[in-house]
Amino acid sequence: MNKFFKLGALLAATVAFSGCCGTCCNSDTEVSSVDAVIETIMTRRSVRDYKEEPVCREQMATIIECGIYAPSAMNMQPWAVRVVDDKAFLDGVTAIAVEQNPALKEQPGFRNFFRNAPTVAFIACPEESYSGEYDSGLLSENMMLSAWSMGIGSCCLGSVVPVMNSEAAKPYMERLALPEGYKLLVAIAFGYPAGDVPEAPARDASKAYYVE
């Protein structure tokens, strides 16, 4: 299924569920002219298979800038972002993860613990913060969407956090040099997709509705 057909099907399902009012939407709208932001949102998927080449640092700079332009409560920007494209670093953490869970190596095509990504952003926020986790989530999504708009795949990796917080990974945490009082929230894998981008896992549209 091509990208536009997939997008058309997704949007048709959304309109069918929400019951378009018939005046706000032009039913003749061509799928190919759907707003680029909506197209990026609807076609982004978690990518778990990457080419070995790290993401070009110029593109990564754009991704980071898009991240920090996310909204945050009172513009506090309660986050810290550390990007690693050093293979030795990622392989070192992988060795620790495999030591803790040898079954990881049995995953088909396993190269590293970051879903084989060559570039990883570590996202941290203050341990004590009114909106740190929420704001960092917004930053993370901005990063992933801007990446996808340039054809760069990504995947949030919560599974990285306990490994990075383990005693064995202390030297790697130290290299991240997070500000005092910050905790690692998530890692985000980035890279050029190696294969087909997966289908969207099912969404439950009943979780959101108008209160009449």
Ligand X SMILES: Cc1cc2nc3c(=O)[nH]c(=O)nc-3n(C[C@H](O)[C@H](O)[C@H](O)COP(=O)(O)O)c2cc1C
**Of residues 188, 162, 164, the one with CA closest to residue 176:** 164
> Which residues are CB-neighbours of 110 under 8 A, at least 6 positions away?
104, 116
159 binds ligand X (CB under 6 A): yes
Q: Counting contacts by CB under 6 A, is residue 6 touching ligand X?
A: no
Q: Which is nearer to ligand X, 48 or 184 (CB)?
A: 48
| DSSP type of residue 22 | S
Number of H helices, E strands in the chain: 7, 4
Nearer to ligand X, 45 or 82 (CB): 45
Q: What backbone torsions phi and psi does residue 164 show, to the nearest 5 degrees?
A: -65, -30
Q: Is 22 in the site for ligand X (CB under 6 A)?
A: no
Q: Which is nearer to ligand X, 37 or 61 (CB)?
A: 37
Residues in the interface with ligand X (CB under 6 A) total 12
Among 157, 163, 164, 188, binds ligand X (CB under 6 A): 157
Extract long-range pairs of 130-134: CB within 8 Å, 24+ residues apart.
130/73, 131/72, 131/73, 131/76, 131/78, 132/78, 132/79, 132/185, 133/185, 134/73
Query: Which one of residues 152, 156, 163, 184 is an interface residue with ligand X (CB under 6 A)?
Result: 156
Which residues touch 202 (CB under 8 Å, ≥6 apart)? none
Residue labelled with tokens 């070009």: 56
User: Angle 32-43-79 (CA atoms, 0-180°, nearest 5)?
Assistant: 130
Q: Does 200 bind ligand X (CB under 6 A)?
A: yes
Task: Show the site string, 40-59: x = touches ligand X by CB under 6 A, - = not.
Answer: -----xx-x-----------
179 binds ligand X (CB under 6 A): no
Select the span of 17-25, 101-109, 125-133, 157-165 touching ligand X (CB under 6 A).
157-165
- For position 158 contacting ligand X by CB under 6 A, the verdict is yes
Using the minimum distance from each CB to ligand X, give the nearer residue, 19 or 102: 102
Interface with ligand X in residues 96-155 (CB under 6 A): 115, 155
Shortest reach from residue 58's CB to ligand X, in Å: 25
Residues interacting with ligand X, by CB under 6 A?
45-46, 48, 115, 155-159, 186, 200-201
